[in-house]
Structure 1
Amino acid sequence: MQQTSSKYRFLLINAFSLPPTSPYLHRSVDGPKEKLLVNHDLIAHHLEGVDWELHPGALTPYGDWPVESREEFCLVAAARLPIVREACESGKYNGIVLLGGGEPGVLESREIARPFNIPVTSCGYAQMHFATLLGNKFSVIDLAEVHNMYYYNLVVQHRFDQRCASIRNLNFPLPRPGHELKYAVREQKEKALRGEPSEMVEAAVEHAVAAIEEDGAEVITFGCSAAFWMQPFLKQRLLALGWDVPVLEGYSCAIELAKSMVNLNISASALCYPDAITQRPRKRVRF
């Protein structure tokens, strides 16, 4: 990226990348950044006026399938941190957007970026904050139980457990060795884009309505980024049923939050993310 007069100079970093030979590839590995950014057509207007680059993410160190379990998230989080540090030290960027619904390495990335006064945003965190600006409680539409429980921890970590009505499981797990429906999510997206009935979209509609009627949700969000593509479909279907509720998608929320933080010239607090050697340490940290 060349230095320009743009107000926003962002690096978008994927949570991970798979080897080109992986049978579980879920996004393009060749071509311009617009092709490599999943759901670019959905979020392109949020990137207007932004000078941005896309990092594909570090190769998964555990295997050649998408991340879903706690162990896998821990490993890809560690692999993403050197990318964040290099980006901060380069001086090229004034905002970093961590892609991926599970936002691996988000707290550590903020700690790295804070001395550079570079805001770091992420999908789950951004969705939850915007959701609580729009309604009393939100529900999360997610793909698989193992990811549901990982995301449950994120809700608690970000202190939104009193504002989250529920996490709803579509039971469309991501592909991995031994999984019989290993291409289900990709095929469901392709069906919907062709205008054909998609079982995944139908399940999302069913769960979103239940979240509203039974759980008390007033805003709908998504967990895994592999579900973000459903945002316009779900929004339209809920409106047709008479439910005029916000349906949020993580990439756009994270990008817009990063732009807001640049506008305000703020990043993370040095009290929340102190240096290893602090000039004025506190005597205690209260809850």
Structure 2
Amino acid sequence: MELIIFLIIGAVAGFAAGLFGVGGGTIIVPLLFIVFTQMDYSPDTVMHLALGTSLATIIVTSISSLMAHNKKGGVMWPVFKNLTPGMAIGCFFGAGIAGALSGTHLQLIVGTFLLWVAFNMFTGGKKRLATDVSAADTVLPSTPKQLVAGAGIGVASAIFGIGGGSLTVPYLTRYGVVMQKAVGTSAACGLPIAIAGALGFMVFGMKDHVEIPNAVGFVHIYAFLGISVMSFFTAKVGAKVAHQLSPTLLKKCFSVLLMMVSCFFLYKGLF
């Protein structure tokens, strides 16, 4: 039964990863939180386990998603190279920061952050959006500034257990990048974030001498395998759908998804 649940989570998360470029973390984290709670894991480690496992599964999801987006020319590789070093370093040490926070504090932080992002994404839909990829007026910051931005995104991604899409997509669209390219580049950036974050949660989890059944540090092995297998295939489907939707519609759908997840975590953190 547990394996079936993990496969279902993987199917839903994979589709969301391809569609929104979020690495599936915004879906995986709340669902794993519910599942691990029902499995009677310690309340002090449930949120950390959900975050670490989420990042581990995003490794596979991101590979599938970025391949699909790259075939459609949706990945800005020069931007990827500028953001990646900071993202990897920031995400690894961000896992250590997350490990030092309580589960309740993590829930409130994640909920508040996603609500803010959802609001900005939704209201941003009223502004002019580039609808033609070739005509997008893109002026990105300098390489050093992109490196610093990547570090910030990396730290936040570890604390939120996501592939960075919740920050990378708004960051790129803010500078005029068309939504499809922002989603594609975000999907690519999710790979170094996921690898560094998963390693961080395993290292810091073992360093704190946390013993969780079927887990290495804060990464649950069975959940990782079940979710990864299914999400690898459904991420491709989500990516195809993303390129069939208008930038404005995609942006509003993304914001609604984040708003729903944020309300869930705020409710759990407060009550």
On whether the aligned pair clears a TM of 0.5, the verdict is: no
More helix by share: 2
The two structures have a TM-score, normalised by structure 1, of: 0.30
More strand by share: 1
Give the number of the structure with larger relative contact order, counting CA–CA contacts within 8 Å between residues 6 or more apart. Answer: 2
Report which of the two structures shows the higher radius of gyration computed on alpha carbons: 1
